Structure 1
Amino acid sequence: MKSPYSDCTELRQAVIDACLSMNTLGINQGTSGNVSVRVGNKMLITPSGVAYDQLTPEMIVSMPLTSDTPDPGQLKPSTEWRFHQSLLLSKLDSHAVVHAHPVYCGALAMNRREIPACHYMVAAFGGNSVRLADYAIFGSSALSDNLDKAMQDRHGCLMANHGSVVVGDTLERAMWRMVELETLAKGYVTSLSIGEPHILSNSEIEDVLASFNNYGLKDA
């Protein structure tokens, strides 16, 4: 699917607005998260180490999808550019990647727990679980490889001892998924505090996935 985006001031501002929204919603803190969107054979991605409230559209980094070098005259891209690039290359129907450190997603990731089918909205992430990607140091090729594995046939995953990442056919859909993932994680953590949650069967999740196809919640 062709990307719906072209490089323009409005899109760059939308990336900034997404970052600011994550902090306002409590999905992220400081500059720990990052956002990218596909523009043709390039991606626009947040720069490394710049406070979100200090970002301006020209600071958003333009970077080829098949190179480790940003376009000339750019700031340094987010240290996580590798997995943004890899996910956009492997998921051709995805045009946005959002990474953050939400508290409840992080709590599960610290305990190395994936999210099973404890709620039907697990299906919004493509299957009967939200997987946990193995740990590797931030910004590394190993982390990118681990995410590629965890994100096969999925739209989101947790990252061991780190955070979470989601994709979407649009930036709006990816942001929706990040909020939904943290809500799901909060519900799962809460349910574990009062007992053992009932897990929906594979067939029950398949029914939800089929319903989502008709409801317009399926992409990438």
Structure 2
Amino acid sequence: MSALGKSEAVVAAAQELERLGLNRGSAGNVSLRDGDAMRITPSGVPSGRLAPQDIARMALQGPDGAFEGPLPPSSEWRFHRDIYIARPDVGAVVHMHSPYATTLAILRREIPAAHYMIAAFGGPTVRCTDYAPYGTAELSALAVAGLGQQHGVLLGNHGAIVTAGELEKALWRAGELEQLAQVYYLASLAGAPVILPDEEIMRTVERFKSYGPKDKGA
């Protein structure tokens, strides 16, 4: 994909997140790996006003905060960069403030295996981190540790992150994470959700390697 094509894909993804109700206005952010750099949405620009030329390019190694482009990158650039460094399999990162995932993050409640679709994230839970202020190295460290080798994490009192090898699958996981958060929250209101065994989920993780949008990662 060309440099312009990557920037166009980031814009389209940010706008799709708003269309799906997973972000609003300038909330959340999207990035795409670009060789030894990343392309990331700018800070404070509503998705509906984004254009490809607004997408910042940042090297994965180099001076903190250095970027190419007319607008500064998202204030959350640190955890995007640090996830790419820690996870060579990740080619796209989506951060969202979707209602149900954020509700669970505020409750500091992980998402357990109440539904087998948790396997889309690579394990039997989607963990929830402690709180750290947005844009900080502390939040980035929590995000990387909470994500581990999986593809989703809740950020305490903040929102959620999903990852994938390619942007299409990251968007798919964003929608699936919000759906999991919603049904788990609603089931918790009605009673005590029955949690599936870890062994069953790990069998489903293996089956899911050929499920959903295909990408170069897991």
- Pairwise same-fold verdict (TM > 0.5): yes
- 2:79 corresponds, among 80, 83, 93, to 83
Q: Aligned partners of 2:33 and 2:111: how far apart in 1?
A: 28
Deviation for aligned residue 1:98: 0.2
Query: 1:184-220 deviations in whole A, cap 9, x for unaligned?
Result: 1000011011101100011111211121234467934
Q: Given the alignment of the two structures, is residue 39 of structure 1 paired with residue 39 of structure 2, yes or no?
A: no
- 2:184 corresponds, among 177, 185, 188, to 188
Conserved in 2, the CA contact under 8 Å of 1:133 and 1:158?
yes
Root mean square deviation, CA, Å: 1.5
Count residues with an aligned counterpart. Answer: 215
Partner of 2:20: 25
Query: 1:99-154 deviations in whole A, cap 9, x for unaligned?
Result: 01000001101110000111111111111100002210000000000011101121
Q: Aligned partners of 2:175 and 2:137: how far apart in 1?
A: 27
Q: TM-score, normalised by structure 1?
A: 0.93
- 2:122 corresponds, among 108, 120, 126, to 126
Q: Aligned partners of 1:46 and 1:126: how far apart in 2?
A: 26
Q: Aligned partners of 1:203 and 1:73: how far apart in 2?
A: 47
Partner of 1:48: 43
Which amino acid in the other structure matches residue 121 of structure 1? M
Deviation for aligned residue 1:157: 0.7
Query: 1:33-52 deviations in whole A, cap 9, x for unaligned?
Result: 10000011010000101121
Partner of 1:108: 104
Deviation for aligned residue 1:73: 4.8
Q: Given the alignment of the two structures, is residue 11 of structure 1 paired with residue 6 of structure 2, yes or no?
A: yes
Unaligned runs of 5+ in 2: none
Identity %: 44
Q: Aligned partners of 1:113 and 1:192: how far apart in 2?
A: 11
- 1:206 corresponds, among 199, 202, 205, to 202
Conserved in 2, the CA contact under 8 Å of 1:109 and 1:158?
yes
Q: TM-score, normalised by structure 2?
A: 0.94
> For 2:3, what is the secondary structure of its paired residue?
coil
Unaligned runs of 5+ in 1: none
Partner of 1:94: 90
Q: Which runs of 4+ in 1 moved over 4 A?
A: none
Which stretch shows the higher mean deviation, 208-217 or 121-130?
A: 208-217
Partner of 2:133: 137
Deviation for aligned residue 1:71: 3.5
Partner of 1:57: 52
Conserved in 1, the CA contact under 8 Å of 2:67 and 2:73?
no
Q: Aligned partners of 1:176 and 1:33: how far apart in 2?
A: 16
Conserved in 2, the CA contact under 8 Å of 1:6 and 1:40?
no
Partner of 1:146: 142
Q: Aligned partners of 2:173 and 2:76: how far apart in 1?
A: 19
